[in-house]
Copies of this chain bind each other. A is one copy, B any other.
Amino acid sequence: MNRCSRQEPHIAVDFRLDVALVHHPVVNRIGEIIGSAVTNLDLHDIARAGRTFGVRNYWVVTPYPLQQELAESIVRHWTDGYGGRVNSDRAEALSLIKISPSLEEVLAAMTQQDGCRPKIVATSASRQEKRTTYNELRQEIIEQKQAVLLLLGTAWGLASEVMDMADAVLPPIEGLGSFNHLSVRSAASIILDRLLGCRESADQL
């Protein structure tokens, strides 16, 4: 699982991990199904982490046309527009982003690209059934080149109908005691480090 290579500045992504940030259907504080708003820094932070660790596509999933337009205009500013001209790293990161109206369309696009349906892996701040482990999924992605779609929820998390779509669920990120109130940006970054982070030597972890 050694794939660290600071000597090679722009090696090709050789595995197939896509990330989807879901804005609908998610739940609110009291468990009702809602649609959440696209957040500028969710686009930036998860794209930057995605590009750092080698995510293939970062899907921003929202069914609302105005929210899709907003997300597209942010991405365009940082890829084709002024932002991208002054910050090429940011352009490279945000070029991972693809806007999609639904998870069904994401799955259809991935199935067409890979010739097979990806393994769908959900994340949750609470313990769920159908558990996988970080090490198991890391091996599937890096060694077996399994196509994987990792689902991240906004607001108070993925709706149960999305959890039902998942083939497996990663365990929650645990720290001290039961307090678990990470932002989706933090959770995404930690999960990508656990799945794809460099472990060249004991130095690294």
Contacts and interface: CB of A to CB of B under 8 A. Distances in A.
Interface of A: 3-11, 13, 41, 44-45, 48-49, 51-54, 89-90, 92-93, 131, 133-135, 171, 173-183, 185-190, 192-194, 196-198, 200, 202-205
A93 B133 contact: no
A177 B44 contact: no
19 contacts: A4-B174, A5-B176, A9-B177, A41-B185, A48-B182, A48-B186, A49-B182, A49-B183, A52-B180, A53-B175, A89-B179, A92-B181, A133-B203, A133-B204, A134-B205, A135-B202, A189-B189, A190-B190, A190-B193
B177 A5 contact: yes
Contacts of A183: 41, 44-45, 48-49, 185
A176 B13 contact: yes
Nearest first, the 7 closest Cβ-Cβ pairs linking A and B are A54-B176, A186-B189, A174-B198, A53-B175, A52-B175, A89-B181, A190-B193
Contacts of A133: 202-204
B89 A186 contact: no
A172 to B, nearest CB: 9
Contacts of A205: 134-135, 194
A176 to B, nearest CB: 3
Contacts of A196: 175-176
B179 A92 contact: yes
Contacts of A177: 5-6, 8-11
Nearest to A52: B175
